[in-house]
């Protein structure tokens, strides 16, 4: 039986005549979904097992070299623990606390996946991708129902299993570095050649060398961070203006250099993990033009050919940066020096 046929069969058995209807969260709810979380569906586990085996067999034939090159291969089971799948018309808000007026930290699109960590007064605490928070339980299905939805919607993706991986324009170490991808992130997987995985990265084809560094798996989308994360990052960063510069420092509360300041802000305000030095950070994310800058983007400057300074764009032509011992952390105009490259590390 074909891959599509198994998906349709599993979905039909699990769903029956049920119709899922939902909205962003309980505040805007029009009606409750008919799927009940955790409800078992007779016989579905048999079809899941059969489908799993068909996926493995087909994958070994069509994804040449996956096992030979020691590339890890799995399914969404290797990514999500205690699977929860959103069932909504558009998207499900992930909130910082289990209450309707709490800050929104991310969103799950319809049929996106998560790991359910706990349940509290009708809310689930979940982790999905780089986002951890709470969703209203009426719009997250679990158990066999979640597995059936996942089987029907999953696609072949590459998930990063190491802290960072360089992404290159061609499958060799001499080609241009387009950026870096980080632990827990997933990207559409196209093919494998000699350990180089071809993926879709920021709207283009790119390559990452992945044996033992990533898992190629049939899985479903994860959470998206909220777009207003940019304003949160900027507000957090400018709160350190006036604090001291300290060479080698990584905490702007007590003193930080330029890259230590950026690393600290991104980690604490956005959950984005960056390397330590400005030269390393200049390989992170994606390259953008000055005309496309948004608050939270990073600008890199050089003395001669070597990058030696990084700053954060905060909007209206301004940057915040740990400038030097004399000035400390301050706000400047973005083109007080000509940047060598501008990078976007916040999705």
Domain-terminating residue out of 223, 250, 270? 223
Which domain range does residue 80 map to? 65-145
Burial of 237 (0-12, 13-18, 19+ CB in 10 A): buried
Q: CATH code at 216?
A: 2.30.30.40
Same domain, 315 and 263: yes
Domain for residue 323, yes or no? yes
Give the span between the Cα atoms of 98 and 100, in whole angstroms. Answer: 7
Helices 143-153 and 3-15, packing angle to 10 deg: 150
Domain-terminating residue out of 118, 145, 172? 145
Whether residue 136 contacts residue 26, with contact meaning beta carbons closer than 8 Å, is answered with yes
Other CB atoms within a 10 A radius of the CB of residue 309 amount to 20
Domain for residue 12, yes or no? no
Same domain, 214 and 231: no
Domain-terminating residue out of 223, 256, 274? 223
Quick: pLDDT tens for 91-132: 899 999 999 988 888 889 999 999 999 998 999 999 998 789
Domain for residue 168, yes or no? yes
Give the span between the Cα atoms of 122 and 144, in whole angstroms. Answer: 19
Same domain, 239 and 136: no
Domain for residue 249, yes or no? yes
Same domain, 71 and 123: yes
Same domain, 168 and 255: no
Quick: pLDDT tens for 314-347: 998 999 999 999 999 999 999 999 999 999 998 7
Give the span between the Cα atoms of 190 and 207, in whole angstroms. Answer: 10
Three-state secondary structure call for residue 206: strand
Query: What pLDDT does 194 receive?
Result: 82
Q: CATH code at 264?
A: 3.90.1720.10
pLDDT interval class at 72 (50, 70, 90): low
Same domain, 202 and 235: no
Query: What is the pTM (predicted TM-score) of this model?
Result: 0.51
Domain for residue 202, yes or no? yes
Number of domains in the chain: 3
Phi/psi-derived region of residue 136, left when phi > 0, alpha when psi is between -120 and 50, beta in every other case: beta
Query: What pLDDT does 10 receive?
Result: 39
Of 39, 43, 42, 40, nearest to 51 (Cα)? 43
């Amino acid at each position: 039986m074909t891959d599509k046929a198994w998906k349709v069969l599993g979905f039909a058995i699990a769903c029956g005549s049920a119709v899922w209807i939902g909205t962003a969260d309980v505040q805007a709810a029009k009606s409750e979904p008919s799927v009940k979380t955790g409800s078992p569906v007779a016989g579905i586990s048999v079809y899941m097992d059969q489908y799993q085996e068909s996926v493995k067999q087909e994958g070994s034939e069509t994804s040449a070299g996956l096992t030979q090159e020691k590339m890890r291969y799995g399914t969404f089971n290797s990514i999500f623990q205690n699977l929860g799948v959103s069932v909504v018309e558009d998207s499900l808000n992930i909130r910082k606390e289990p209450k309707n007026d709490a800050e929104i930290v991310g969103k799950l699109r319809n049929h996106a996946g998560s790991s359910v960590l706990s349940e509290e007064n009708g809310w689930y605490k979940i982790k999905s991708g780089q986002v951890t928070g709470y969703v209203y339980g009426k719009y997250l299905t679990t158990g066999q129902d979640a597995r059936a939805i996942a089987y029907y919607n999953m696609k072949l993706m590459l998930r990063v299993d190491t802290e960072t991986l360089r992404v290159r324009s061609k499958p060799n170490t001499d080609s241009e570095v387009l950026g870096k991808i980080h632990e827990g992130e997933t990207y559409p997987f196209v093919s494998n050649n000699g350990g180089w995985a071809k993926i879709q990265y920021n709207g283009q084809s790119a390559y990452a060398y992945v044996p033992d560094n990533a898992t190629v798996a049939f899985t479903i989308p994860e959470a998206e961070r909220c777009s207003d994360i940019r304003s949160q990052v900027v507000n957090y960063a400018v709160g350190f203006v006036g604090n001291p510069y300290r060479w080698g420092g990584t905490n702007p509360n007590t003193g930080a250099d330029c890259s230590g300041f950026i690393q600290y802000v991104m980690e604490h305000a956005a959950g984005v993990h960056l390397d330590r030095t400005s030269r390393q950070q200049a390989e992170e994310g994606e390259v953008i033009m000055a005309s496309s800058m948004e608050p939270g983007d990073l600008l890199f400057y050089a003395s001669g050919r070597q990058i030696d300074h990084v700053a954060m764009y905060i909007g209206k032509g301004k940057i915040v940066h740990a400038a030097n011992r004399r000035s400390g952390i301050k706000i400047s105009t973005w083109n007080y020096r000509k940047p060598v490259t501008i990078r976007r590390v916040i999705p």
